[in-house]
Amino acid sequence: MKKRVLITGGAGFIGVNVAHRFLRRGWRVSVLDDLSRRGTDRNIRWLMGEGAVEFTRADLRNAAFAERWVRSRLDGLEAVVHLAAQVAVTTSVADPRTDFEKNALASLNILEAVRRSGKKPFTFYASTNKVYGGMEHVRTALSRGRWSYVGLPHGVSEREPIDFHSPYGCSKGSADQYFRDYARIYGLPTVVFRQSCIYGPHQQGNEDQGWLAHFMKMAQAGKGVSVYGDGRQVRDALFVEDLVDAIEAAYIRRAKAAGRIYNVGGGPKSTISLRELLAWIEKRSGRPLPVSWGPWRPGDQKVYVSDIRLAGRELGWRPKTGLGAGLEALWSWLERG
């Protein structure tokens, strides 16, 4: 019997890349997505053209439906990859109830559906670095035209206290802790990744989420971009295929990884500031990119870089794609339309 994976949010940017990898491995792939985000309909059409994917258009806010969806797909069930989410901080501020339902409630529903199924598949949750909040106690300084940490050469580790600074942080952080606790209390082999900036093909970025793709798309369309703050803020960036490698590594080492939380991103060797991305785009496109500057937004971090050493030690994983190669791959994919 073929192994089966259930992927929620499987038509999204990360989900479609995860689903494609499992298809290539010969797994049966069942995808659930409500197709509410722009570009997901295109992604699912592409994915279904790549292999025999079973697709369900729905969300997980109804507990009874979530349980039926899981129970009807137990044959060969080896893995559940929970990616479905509301992903924008600004949207969470405007509509915190929907944010809670799509992130915290839906996550509890999928956990309960798996627990009540009687099976114990590898169960993965995509969390976020936003659970660490503003990290006001960590000193930052300008160095070589970009913000950097003072005293954190490897970046932010899993020992950093969680501190939710937005409805989005609250909803994702609640789910993050539920996944960890279901390993402790019920013995489910859950794994949580607190992900940094993920980028790559099939990403339909916008101003609130997916900024690397958003800036590139605007430049390719001959439009300008808005930058809030001084443009020297820094993020670590991880190419999506490297993230999928990490999820696979967690599945392979699930006995060791069960109940664990890992910070997963590009790490200190793969960081970029907004100004550096603007310069890269202008060089790649051969023309200036108009920029409108605005004040810092509440909650914006001057720098966030993941300490990825724990994932390296316990999962045997490290990023393979250099930042330059990854940016070029995303630019080329967007350019092809």
**Residues 171 and 91: beta-carbon distance below 8 Å:** no
Element (H, E) at 141: strand 140-143
Q: Which residues are catalytic?
A: 168
Per-residue pLDDT band at 261 (split at 50, 70, 90): very high
- pLDDT score of 299 more than 70: no
Whether residue 219 contacts residue 289, with contact meaning beta carbons closer than 8 Å, is answered with yes
d(CA 112, CA 55): 21
d(CA 239, CA 19): 16
Contact between 213 and 334 under an 8 Å Cβ cutoff? The reply is yes
Per-residue pLDDT, 163: 92
Pairing of β 234-239 and β 303-304: parallel
Determine the pLDDT at residue 1.
82
CATH assignment at residue 241? 3.40.50.720
Report how far residue 303's alpha carbon sits from residue 289's, in angstroms, rounded to the nearest whole number: 23
pLDDT digits (tens, 9 = 90+) for 207-258: 778 999 999 999 999 999 999 999 999 999 999 999 999 999 999 999 999 9
Q: How many CA atoms lie within 13 A of 44 on its CB side?
A: 23
Give per-residue pLDDT as tens, 123-141.
999 999 999 998 989 999 9
* Predicted confidence (pLDDT) per residue in 35-53, tens digit: 999 899 999 999 999 999 9
Give phi and psi for 155, each to the nearest 5. 95, -165
pLDDT of residue 3: 98
CB atoms within 10 A of CB 46: 14
Q: Is the pLDDT of residue 14 over 90?
A: yes
Lowest mean pLDDT among 147-161, 180-194, 291-305: 291-305
Residue 228's pLDDT is: 94
Give residue 224's domain range: 4-335
Which region holds residue 9: left if phi is over 0, alpha if psi is between -120 and 50, else beta?
Answer: left
Q: For 101, which DSSP code?
A: I
Q: How many domains does the chain have?
A: 1
